[in-house]
Amino acid sequence: MGGDGEGAAMAPFRSPLGGDTGSGGRAMDDGIGDADIFVVGTCEDMCPAKEREAREGNGELHPFERVQYNNPKLTSPDLIIKRTVRNYEQENQIPTNFRTFGALDKTMRHLRRIMDWTTTDHPRAEPIVIYEFLWDRYREVRKEIVTQRFNTNPVNLPQVMAWNEEVARYFIACSHELINTKGFSAILNQEQLNKVLMDLLGDYRTCVDLGVPTPNAGEFKCYMATMMYAGLENKSGKKIPNKFGAFEVLRSFTAQEQVGL
Protein backbone atom coordinates (compact mmCIF):
# COMPACT_ATOMS: atom_id res chain seq x y z
CA MET A 1 0.00 0.00 0.00
CA GLY A 2 1.28 3.46 -0.78
CA GLY A 3 0.89 6.69 1.12
CA ASP A 4 -2.34 8.65 1.51
CA GLY A 5 -1.85 10.81 -1.51
CA GLU A 6 -4.92 12.68 -0.99
CA GLY A 7 8.32 -4.13 29.74
CA ALA A 8 11.05 -6.37 29.00
CA ALA A 9 11.79 -8.09 25.73
CA MET A 10 10.82 -11.74 25.40
CA ALA A 11 13.10 -14.44 24.00
CA PRO A 12 12.88 -14.84 20.21
CA PHE A 13 9.93 -16.97 19.11
CA ARG A 14 10.56 -19.50 16.36
CA SER A 15 7.75 -19.07 13.89
CA PRO A 16 6.23 -22.20 12.38
CA LEU A 17 6.53 -20.35 9.07
CA GLY A 18 10.29 -20.50 9.34
CA GLY A 19 12.69 -17.82 10.56
CA ASP A 20 12.72 -15.98 13.85
CA THR A 21 10.24 -13.36 14.84
CA GLY A 22 10.99 -10.57 17.20
CA SER A 23 9.91 -9.60 20.67
CA GLY A 24 6.76 -11.44 21.57
CA GLY A 25 6.63 -13.17 18.18
CA ARG A 26 6.72 -10.11 15.97
CA ALA A 27 7.59 -10.49 12.31
CA MET A 28 10.87 -8.68 11.78
CA ASP A 29 10.63 -8.40 7.98
CA ASP A 30 7.70 -6.01 8.24
CA GLY A 31 9.78 -3.19 9.69
CA ILE A 32 7.95 -3.92 12.92
CA GLY A 33 9.29 -4.50 16.38
CA ASP A 34 12.99 -3.68 16.27
CA ALA A 35 14.15 -5.24 19.53
CA ASP A 36 16.92 -2.62 19.81
CA ILE A 37 14.44 0.25 20.05
CA PHE A 38 12.49 0.99 23.20
CA VAL A 39 10.64 4.26 23.64
CA VAL A 40 7.95 5.23 26.13
CA GLY A 41 5.50 7.43 24.25
CA THR A 42 4.00 10.64 25.61
CA CYS A 43 1.75 11.67 22.70
CA GLU A 44 -1.89 11.68 23.83
CA ASP A 45 -3.34 12.25 20.35
CA MET A 46 -3.88 9.85 17.46
CA CYS A 47 -1.08 11.60 15.58
CA PRO A 48 2.01 13.38 16.97
CA ALA A 49 1.96 17.16 16.62
CA LYS A 50 5.15 17.16 14.52
CA GLU A 51 3.63 14.90 11.88
CA ARG A 52 0.30 16.71 11.97
CA GLU A 53 1.93 20.08 11.31
CA ALA A 54 4.14 18.69 8.55
CA ARG A 55 1.33 16.95 6.72
CA GLU A 56 -0.96 19.97 7.02
CA GLY A 57 1.78 22.19 5.61
CA ASN A 58 2.46 19.81 2.73
CA GLY A 59 -1.20 19.12 1.95
CA GLU A 60 -0.76 15.40 2.68
CA LEU A 61 -3.99 14.73 4.52
CA HIS A 62 -6.10 11.72 3.62
CA PRO A 63 -9.72 12.73 2.83
CA PHE A 64 -10.80 11.00 6.06
CA GLU A 65 -8.51 13.34 8.03
CA ARG A 66 -9.68 16.66 6.63
CA VAL A 67 -11.91 19.13 8.44
CA GLN A 68 -13.18 20.25 5.03
CA TYR A 69 -13.30 17.63 2.29
CA ASN A 70 -11.69 19.83 -0.39
CA ASN A 71 -8.98 21.29 1.87
CA PRO A 72 -5.95 18.94 2.16
CA LYS A 73 -4.19 21.39 4.51
CA LEU A 74 -6.61 21.53 7.44
CA THR A 75 -7.14 18.78 10.00
CA SER A 76 -7.69 18.38 13.74
CA PRO A 77 -6.35 16.04 16.46
CA ASP A 78 -9.70 14.23 16.37
CA LEU A 79 -9.30 13.31 12.69
CA ILE A 80 -5.67 12.76 11.79
CA ILE A 81 -4.01 9.40 12.51
CA LYS A 82 -0.30 8.68 12.44
CA ARG A 83 0.87 7.09 9.20
CA THR A 84 3.11 4.06 9.05
CA VAL A 85 6.76 4.93 9.54
CA ARG A 86 8.87 2.37 7.71
CA ASN A 87 11.93 2.81 9.93
CA TYR A 88 12.33 4.78 13.15
CA GLU A 89 15.36 6.95 12.44
CA GLN A 90 17.46 7.96 15.43
CA GLU A 91 16.25 11.57 15.39
CA ASN A 92 12.63 10.41 15.49
CA GLN A 93 13.06 8.06 18.45
CA ILE A 94 11.70 10.57 20.94
CA PRO A 95 8.72 10.14 23.32
CA THR A 96 6.57 12.83 21.69
CA ASN A 97 6.55 10.85 18.42
CA PHE A 98 5.01 7.77 20.05
CA ARG A 99 1.46 7.41 21.32
CA THR A 100 0.54 6.40 24.82
CA PHE A 101 -1.52 3.27 25.35
CA GLY A 102 -4.58 5.47 25.83
CA ALA A 103 -3.90 7.25 22.53
CA LEU A 104 -3.53 3.91 20.75
CA ASP A 105 -6.87 2.84 22.23
CA LYS A 106 -8.46 6.06 20.96
CA THR A 107 -6.92 5.36 17.54
CA MET A 108 -8.31 1.83 17.38
CA ARG A 109 -11.78 3.02 18.39
CA HIS A 110 -11.70 5.72 15.70
CA LEU A 111 -10.56 3.22 13.05
CA ARG A 112 -13.41 0.93 14.09
CA ARG A 113 -15.87 3.74 13.41
CA ILE A 114 -14.34 4.40 9.99
CA MET A 115 -14.63 0.69 9.21
CA ASP A 116 -18.41 1.03 9.40
CA TRP A 117 -18.66 4.16 7.26
CA THR A 118 -20.57 4.31 4.01
CA THR A 119 -20.62 7.07 1.41
CA THR A 120 -23.45 8.58 3.44
CA ASP A 121 -20.92 9.23 6.22
CA HIS A 122 -18.13 10.40 3.90
CA PRO A 123 -18.09 10.82 0.09
CA ARG A 124 -14.87 8.77 -0.22
CA ALA A 125 -15.91 5.95 2.08
CA GLU A 126 -15.88 3.19 -0.53
CA PRO A 127 -14.83 -0.17 0.96
CA ILE A 128 -11.48 -0.23 -0.89
CA VAL A 129 -10.59 3.30 0.25
CA ILE A 130 -11.44 2.42 3.84
CA TYR A 131 -9.38 -0.75 3.53
CA GLU A 132 -6.28 1.04 2.24
CA PHE A 133 -6.52 3.62 5.03
CA LEU A 134 -6.95 1.03 7.78
CA TRP A 135 -4.24 -1.20 6.27
CA ASP A 136 -1.68 1.57 6.82
CA ARG A 137 -2.87 2.87 10.19
CA TYR A 138 -3.22 -0.59 11.73
CA ARG A 139 0.37 -1.32 10.74
CA GLU A 140 1.73 1.66 12.67
CA VAL A 141 -0.34 0.76 15.73
CA ARG A 142 1.26 -2.69 15.65
CA LYS A 143 4.73 -1.15 15.41
CA GLU A 144 4.19 1.13 18.38
CA ILE A 145 2.80 -1.72 20.47
CA VAL A 146 6.09 -3.58 20.08
CA THR A 147 8.38 -0.55 20.33
CA GLN A 148 6.84 0.27 23.72
CA ARG A 149 6.69 -3.42 24.80
CA PHE A 150 2.94 -3.28 25.42
CA ASN A 151 2.81 -6.83 24.06
CA THR A 152 4.88 -8.11 27.00
CA ASN A 153 3.13 -6.15 29.75
CA PRO A 154 0.46 -8.25 31.55
CA VAL A 155 -1.61 -5.11 32.15
CA ASN A 156 -1.74 -4.15 28.46
CA LEU A 157 -1.51 -7.59 26.87
CA PRO A 158 -5.24 -8.52 26.98
CA GLN A 159 -6.12 -5.34 25.06
CA VAL A 160 -3.22 -5.79 22.64
CA MET A 161 -4.43 -9.32 21.96
CA ALA A 162 -7.98 -8.06 21.36
CA TRP A 163 -6.72 -5.41 18.92
CA ASN A 164 -4.73 -7.95 16.92
CA GLU A 165 -7.73 -10.27 16.83
CA GLU A 166 -9.88 -7.41 15.57
CA VAL A 167 -7.38 -6.58 12.82
CA ALA A 168 -7.11 -10.24 11.81
CA ARG A 169 -10.88 -10.57 11.54
CA TYR A 170 -10.99 -7.45 9.37
CA PHE A 171 -8.40 -8.83 6.95
CA ILE A 172 -10.22 -12.16 6.82
CA ALA A 173 -13.49 -10.40 5.99
CA CYS A 174 -11.78 -8.26 3.34
CA SER A 175 -10.29 -11.32 1.66
CA HIS A 176 -13.88 -12.33 0.87
CA GLU A 177 -15.69 -9.02 0.46
CA LEU A 178 -13.07 -7.23 -1.67
CA ILE A 179 -11.75 -10.12 -3.75
CA ASN A 180 -13.12 -8.76 -7.05
CA THR A 181 -12.57 -5.09 -6.21
CA LYS A 182 -10.21 -3.03 -8.36
CA GLY A 183 -7.11 -2.09 -6.40
CA PHE A 184 -7.39 -4.95 -3.91
CA SER A 185 -4.41 -7.29 -3.72
CA ALA A 186 -5.30 -10.66 -2.25
CA ILE A 187 -1.60 -11.47 -1.88
CA LEU A 188 -0.80 -8.29 0.10
CA ASN A 189 -3.88 -8.84 2.24
CA GLN A 190 -2.79 -12.41 2.90
CA GLU A 191 0.70 -11.21 3.83
CA GLN A 192 -0.65 -8.75 6.38
CA LEU A 193 -3.12 -11.28 7.78
CA ASN A 194 -0.28 -13.76 8.11
CA LYS A 195 1.84 -11.20 9.99
CA VAL A 196 -1.01 -10.35 12.38
CA LEU A 197 -1.66 -14.04 13.03
CA MET A 198 2.04 -14.47 13.75
CA ASP A 199 1.75 -11.54 16.18
CA LEU A 200 -1.11 -13.36 17.84
CA LEU A 201 0.84 -16.60 18.16
CA GLY A 202 3.48 -14.60 20.02
CA ASP A 203 0.81 -12.86 22.11
CA TYR A 204 -0.73 -16.20 23.08
CA ARG A 205 2.66 -17.64 23.98
CA THR A 206 3.38 -14.62 26.19
CA CYS A 207 -0.07 -14.91 27.77
CA VAL A 208 0.65 -18.51 28.75
CA ASP A 209 3.95 -17.43 30.33
CA LEU A 210 2.24 -14.63 32.27
CA GLY A 211 -0.92 -16.51 33.20
CA VAL A 212 -3.19 -14.29 31.08
CA PRO A 213 -6.35 -15.98 29.68
CA THR A 214 -6.57 -16.45 25.90
CA PRO A 215 -10.30 -17.03 25.25
CA ASN A 216 -10.07 -16.70 21.45
CA ALA A 217 -6.73 -18.41 20.86
CA GLY A 218 -8.30 -21.62 19.52
CA GLU A 219 -10.17 -19.71 16.82
CA PHE A 220 -7.13 -17.83 15.55
CA LYS A 221 -4.74 -20.74 15.76
CA CYS A 222 -7.19 -22.65 13.56
CA TYR A 223 -7.11 -19.79 11.04
CA MET A 224 -3.33 -19.91 11.02
CA ALA A 225 -3.15 -23.70 10.73
CA THR A 226 -5.70 -23.66 7.87
CA MET A 227 -3.77 -20.98 5.97
CA MET A 228 -0.54 -22.89 6.34
CA TYR A 229 -1.97 -26.27 5.40
CA ALA A 230 -3.68 -24.84 2.30
CA GLY A 231 -0.57 -22.88 1.40
CA LEU A 232 0.32 -19.21 1.33
CA GLU A 233 0.21 -17.74 -2.15
CA ASN A 234 3.49 -16.24 -3.35
CA LYS A 235 3.93 -13.37 -5.81
CA SER A 236 3.84 -15.76 -8.78
CA GLY A 237 0.41 -16.96 -7.67
CA LYS A 238 1.60 -20.38 -6.54
CA LYS A 239 0.47 -21.77 -3.19
CA ILE A 240 3.12 -23.46 -1.10
CA PRO A 241 1.68 -25.62 1.70
CA ASN A 242 3.49 -25.77 5.03
CA LYS A 243 2.09 -28.90 6.64
CA PHE A 244 4.79 -29.02 9.29
CA GLY A 245 4.03 -25.43 10.28
CA ALA A 246 0.32 -26.24 10.53
CA PHE A 247 1.16 -29.20 12.76
CA GLU A 248 3.31 -26.98 15.00
CA VAL A 249 0.46 -24.49 15.40
CA LEU A 250 -1.97 -27.25 16.34
CA ARG A 251 0.56 -28.68 18.75
CA SER A 252 0.75 -25.31 20.53
CA PHE A 253 -2.86 -25.56 21.78
CA THR A 254 -3.11 -25.47 25.55
CA ALA A 255 -5.69 -27.61 27.36
CA GLN A 256 -7.75 -24.47 28.01
CA GLU A 257 -7.69 -23.52 24.32
CA GLN A 258 -8.76 -27.00 23.24
CA VAL A 259 -11.79 -26.83 25.53
CA GLY A 260 -12.83 -23.57 23.86
CA LEU A 261 -13.09 -25.11 20.38
Residue 175 and residue 189 in contact, taking contact as beta carbons nearer than 8 Å? yes
Domain assignments of the chain as residue spans, ordered by start:
20-158
What pLDDT does residue 31 have? 46
pLDDT in tens, 202-222: 999 999 999 999 999 999 999
Mean pLDDT across the stretch 82-107? 91
What pLDDT does residue 27 have? 39
Tell me the one-letter amino acid at 256: Q
pLDDT in tens, 157-195: 999 999 999 999 999 999 999 999 999 999 999 999 999
Confidence (pTM): 0.84
Whether 7 has a pLDDT exceeding 70, the answer reads no
